[in-house]
Copies of this chain bind each other. A is one copy, B any other.
Amino acid sequence: MANIQEIARLAGVSTATVSRVINQHPYVSDLTRERVLKIIGQLDYVPNYNATSLKKGATRSIGIIAVDYNSLLMSLVRSFHTIAQQSGFNTMLFMTNGECSKELVALEMLRSRQLDALFCLVRTNEWNIIESYTRYGPIVTWQRLTSDSIPSVFMDQYQGYMLSLEYLYSKGYRKILNVFSSKGLNTLERIRAYRDFIQMHGLKDSGFPQFHNKMSIYDGEEIAQWWIKQTDKPEAISCSTDEVAAGILMELQRAGFTVPDDVGIMGFDNTDIAHLLDLTTIHYPVDKQAENAFAVIKSMLDQSVPKLHSLAFNLIERRST
């Protein structure tokens, strides 16, 4: 494979000049530039990126960490990739599948300078582990987290969940079942929203069990089975994700129930499946969150001040409520 020296030799210039041409430096005469570019073209030469990275001390690539995929996360990934690309950064996606070791692969790549930064959508390892890697480069998360070494671009789920609950209330639902996802600060905020909600409207607590750690279609199916067995049934179910809502809806329909006549169902995230099944849900601007994440990383990389979007939730009314 051709290298910069060969180009220099063939073009009858020094490697420094070739390098200048490649990096679009000023102060190269048009004539020599032409000549160098011609040889580069002829030899199909590309700079060895490993050498460049070594020399520059940066790779201009950013890792994105997720546990698994779903349409919401993929929108985030897509937006982040696009905005990063515009600033000349590549992204690489790490799907940890919930395995700590897979997440550590990404973390270690940051440590060994293969990555300049990390955007951690959903973590697997404990925060203190991840935090210990911030000394090797910027790490920004999408999850709710209060840390001074790991900035977060989360959106306050309290507001979003309250929006959902208030809407259900306005439609006349009173006995509401909450389905929460993984135990994190987001969930705590949603719980707080529910507490405030029943207090504000002078409702008494439903006495329904707490569903936690439910986020998949399969979880939804289980919850539907629970619902079917109850004598004192919830009038509406406010779900952690559209997937859970989808699972509930389909399982209930299979069992002969009708939505929203028998029970109202609210999704969350406004993903494709919510559209497919006509689920009322909560939309929020993940694209802006992705852009904010990149802005924060960029600013940490070149110690500037980030310019951020402000963010808001939105209710999408469909036919499940």
Contacts and interface: CB of A to CB of B under 8 A. Distances in A.
Given A217-B276, A276-B250, A90 B112 contact: no
Given A95-B81, A276-B247, A90 B69 contact: no
Given A69-B74, A109-B90, A54 B48 contact: yes
Nearest to A51: B54
B77 A113 contact: no
A213 interface: no
A46 B112 contact: yes
Nearest to A59: B50
A69 B74 CA distance: 8
Nearest to A55: B50
A48 B85 contact: no
Contacts of A83: none
A49 B109 contact: yes
A93 B92 contact: yes
A254 interface: yes
Interface residues of A, number: 41
Contact of A113 (B49, B112, B276, B277): B49
A110 B64 CA distance: 20
Contacts of A273: 273
A253 B314 CA distance: 28
A102 B102 CA distance: 25
Given A111-B46, A112-B46, A254 B272 contact: no
A47 interface: yes
A305 B161 CA distance: 56
A54 B50 contact: yes
Contact of A90 (B49, B78, B81, B105): B105
A215 interface: no
Interface in A26-52: 46-51
15 contacts: A48-B112, A48-B113, A49-B109, A50-B53, A50-B54, A50-B59, A50-B113, A68-B74, A74-B95, A81-B102, A85-B105, A92-B92, A93-B93, A247-B276, A273-B273
Interface of A: 46-51, 53-54, 59, 68-69, 74, 77-78, 81, 85, 90, 92-95, 97, 102, 105, 108-109, 111-114, 217, 246-247, 250, 254, 272-273, 275-278
